[in-house]
């Protein structure tokens, strides 16, 4: 029996032959860098007044919301002696939405304040 007329499975269209694997021919794809939460670094980097406590929340992507909390003055209390019994002693002094990314050179942060939304 002559095998010259038999079709070899590797010869039918070249797709199944060695070195023709679709995954081997695919170009190398770089993995996308997963977003990371930079909140702690933002809190350390932003300007604050003495006594401010800054809280920063990652909203997703490059967007963050930062609140500057400050102790509320007791001068407006009708009974300043009750300071220890008050539940809320701090108020948000400033709040901003930020777009933050890591700078390529030096690894520092690039921080942009986003404009307030109308209405």
Mean pLDDT of 71-99: 74
| 106 inside domain | yes
| 48 inside domain | yes
Q: How many domains does the chain have?
A: 1
| 63 inside domain | yes
pLDDT, one tens digit per residue, over 35-70 is 789 999 999 999 999 999 999 999 999 999 999 999
pLDDT for 61: 93
Residue span of the structural domain in which 37 resides:
33-73+86-113
Q: Which residues contact 70 (CB under 8 A, 6 or more apart)?
A: 49, 51, 52, 53, 90, 91, 93
pTM for the whole structure: 0.60
């Amino acid at each position: 029996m002559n095998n010259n007329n038999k079709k070899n499975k590797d010869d039918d269209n070249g797709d199944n032959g060695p070195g023709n694997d679709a995954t081997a021919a695919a170009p190398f794809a770089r993995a996308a860098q997963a977003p990371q939460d930079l909140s702690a670094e933002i809190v350390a980097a932003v300007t604050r007044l003495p006594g401010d406590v800054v809280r920063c929340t990652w909203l997703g992507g490059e967007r963050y919301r930062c609140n500057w909390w400050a102790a509320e003055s007791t001068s407006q209390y009708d009974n300043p002696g009750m300071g220890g019994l008050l539940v809320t002693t701090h108020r948000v002094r400033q709040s901003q939405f930020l777009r933050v990314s890591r700078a390529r050179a030096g690894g520092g942060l690039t921080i942009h304040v986003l404009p307030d939304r109308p209405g």
